[in-house]
Structure 1
């Protein structure tokens, strides 16, 4: 399960003594930041922010409060849940024994929310996509909640001064993990970076496509039983074509999310900001620009999650006065623009969509 609610329920019902401890006020629940703050403050603060509270499946992200109906449905004592605050505020002070002096904890955000903040995606329609083991894309949709019609998640991007900025989020399970599979399981490359030269050594994909449903398909398909498949292999297919197919899959999966986001929001986005380990691969970034037909911007600072956390703390500390101050800090390292003819890009993507449907159809037939 993606959210915490069913897991909390299971623990309370199956771990000996858990429910009794919870009802007696001796048990607390929180996502990882709550655990960190609790320990950093010496057990004084049981607290969270809206972006993390939203991932419990128990929080009303429109009314900005715990949802009593859901809490009752899962039979969870409300007393075990943390106090929820904005993303920038004083969450407490660290125990002086830890760092030698108390330090104010001034900012909290979830992983991809912090990356969105670090990429300075503060304007409606801005999108960032992070390519690590998986891929996570978030689109700023402004301060009005919008429900996705395309199986995306609507989530708080951040909350400042009592106002929530929302995002559409799409999660892809396999991004860099595909490259790891080539290296560790197939053993056709020694290093992840080898895929770039291999992919560039062939003039096209020769009809070879990899649908990387190794752990099912994530957004916008949500097919947990789907299995990975390689299509179009011939006797001449080798390391280069498999490497290219693995990198092309990053762009196709992103396009699936990109199209869903634009459909939900009604916004035609012209720029995609990217980060994560895979963006060091120039072939991947260029093919991403070709398929999405938008400008791909790679920042100088690619550790955008850590940067976003620093930005939140900096706002609270007064180092930055507002979002405009943060915008001025963003610097671009590389930019990729579409080079492939639009008709060719459409053909590539249409073939991908066909093979994804084949994978999904195979689930219903099995």
Structure 2
């Protein structure tokens, strides 16, 4: 029997990645195509939707050329995407009416402030805290601020969605306007219990439901694509899912209580809640992990705005290091007694503290604090933020996590992973698979087609384990210092 292959796409904040997986779930080719980060003086963060649509094609074409496989043996594709980033387009022309507004962008703060009196209603309905971080307020901002858009929306002429919807719409030449439950649950427009767009919340934000995509299972058929002739016959798109959710699936976190952190531009901490949602009282969010084979799994979800982006900042903006790889050795050389902290609130602070107007700050520097100590503080800031989210989840779920699964580019940094284990006081498992998002997508597609089963993932479940080595006294001292720094930011 001839081999069969799956194309997996991860449309992320920094670029679009395509990977090709074989019947054993092994990646045989990959490609990343970066896109522009459009940031103006107000701190508004955007992406060019047309550029991203083009880059999906470039990335897929590249992996096919690299692998040299017979294209007729590619049986399906699936995709994951940066969550919350949202785009609105004209269903007549197929072109965006405005750039994609990126998840980090805080521009819809005033819209959220107007709705402060109904914040509890919004969270109890959607599982999400009222915040400009989510897609709904971003859509409302475009409707209110871009000339002519409100009129077109009321005429039923506009579509909107997270980046999965936009990519699928383009791949299917406009025949499919769909999203999955994981992405829909991050828009702050969906009723977390019914899995439908909520009339009340949409009305509060002034968003016509006609703009919104059809909500489908994560392993549904999202349409067919020949990628503008790249394939002789159209292939099915058999997965759409939020990027961190795909990673959670790829890590095998199928059972209640299992926990994972996806380290990317920001970090996303997730805890599987099983088949029953819990509304948090400690600042984390309730979302849908996925709906696969008709079964819904809920999660606690805590998003950290700046993690990998902190490493990018110290490389490209501060110039402390010339590459991310240098940060590990520099942090290891730093004075262990230095008590400098970075609170990276460059666009406010997300879970579990939620203060949009906060500003970033270095805290606790001495005359002896140098480049190595600043780099050390930057890496440690990522781990402290993850620890804050995990503590909040544990309080709500009344469980202590036995270990943390980790995924994403920053997990290659051994200083960060060891410090994360120390601060959490539990093992951290770093998989040999570097790209768990694309792997998770491939697993979902492969299982939907009968190409993979649980044994496929289990055979590839190889990881390095970091064990905590820090004393309780040292851990408590570190956390107390972080909390002092955090209070200075939150109270100012």
Length-normalised TM-score, structure 1: 0.92
Matched, 1:348 2:478: yes
Structure number with the higher strand fraction is: 2
In structure 2, how many angstroms separate the alpha carbons of the residues matched to 1:301 and 1:42? 33
- Residues 290-301 of structure 1 correspond to what in structure 2 (within 5 A)? 290-301=422-433
Q: How many residues align?
A: 360
In structure 1, how many angstroms separate the alpha carbons of the residues matched to 2:429 and 2:368? 35
Q: Is the 8 A contact 1:295 1:336 kept in 2?
A: yes
Q: Which residue of 1 aligns with 2:392?
A: 260
In structure 1, how many angstroms separate the alpha carbons of the residues matched to 2:369 and 2:144? 52
Matched, 1:27 2:158: yes
- Residues 328-347 of structure 1 correspond to what in structure 2 (within 5 A)? 328-347=458-477
Q: Which residue of 1 aligns with 2:345?
A: 213
224, 232, 239: which one aligns with 1:93 = 224
Say which is worse superposed, 298-307 or 53-62, in terms of deviation. 53-62
How far is 1:96 from its partner?
A: 7.5
In structure 1, how many angstroms separate the alpha carbons of the residues matched to 2:145 and 2:357? 27
Matched, 1:278 2:410: yes
Structure with bigger RCO (C-alpha 8 Å, 6+ apart): 1
Matched, 1:46 2:177: yes
Alignment gaps of 5+ in structure 2 = 1-131
Question: What per-residue deviation string (whole Å, max 9, x for no partner) do you get for residues 295-323 of structure 1?
Answer: 010001121111111112112111124xx
- Residues 1-366 of structure 1 correspond to what in structure 2 (within 5 A)? 1-95=132-226, 97-98=228-229, 99-202=231-334, 204-321=336-453, 324-325=454-455, 327-361=457-491, 363=492
How far is 1:41 from its partner?
A: 1.7
1:11–1:358 distance in 2 versus 1, CA, 3 Å: closer
RMSD: 1.9
In structure 1, how many angstroms separate the alpha carbons of the residues matched to 2:215 and 2:195? 9
Q: Is the 8 A contact 2:171 2:227 kept in 1?
A: no
Q: Is the 8 A contact 1:120 1:330 kept in 2?
A: no
SS at match of 1:349: helix
Structure number with the higher helix fraction is: 1
Alignment gaps of 5+ in structure 1 = none
How far is 1:92 from its partner?
A: 1.6
Q: Is the 8 A contact 2:349 2:355 kept in 1?
A: yes
SS at match of 2:405: strand
1:360–1:318 distance in 2 versus 1, CA, 3 Å: same
In structure 1, how many angstroms separate the alpha carbons of the residues matched to 2:227 and 2:261? 38
Q: Is the 8 A contact 1:299 1:330 kept in 2?
A: no
SS at match of 1:30: strand
Q: Is the 8 A contact 2:443 2:457 kept in 1?
A: no
How far is 1:287 from its partner?
A: 0.9
In structure 2, how many angstroms separate the alpha carbons of the residues matched to 1:238 and 1:122? 44
In structure 2, how many angstroms separate the alpha carbons of the residues matched to 1:77 and 1:134? 30
How far is 1:75 from its partner?
A: 3.3
Question: What per-residue deviation string (whole Å, max 9, x for no partner) do you get for residues 122-171 of structure 1?
Answer: 11111111222221111111110100111111110111233210111111
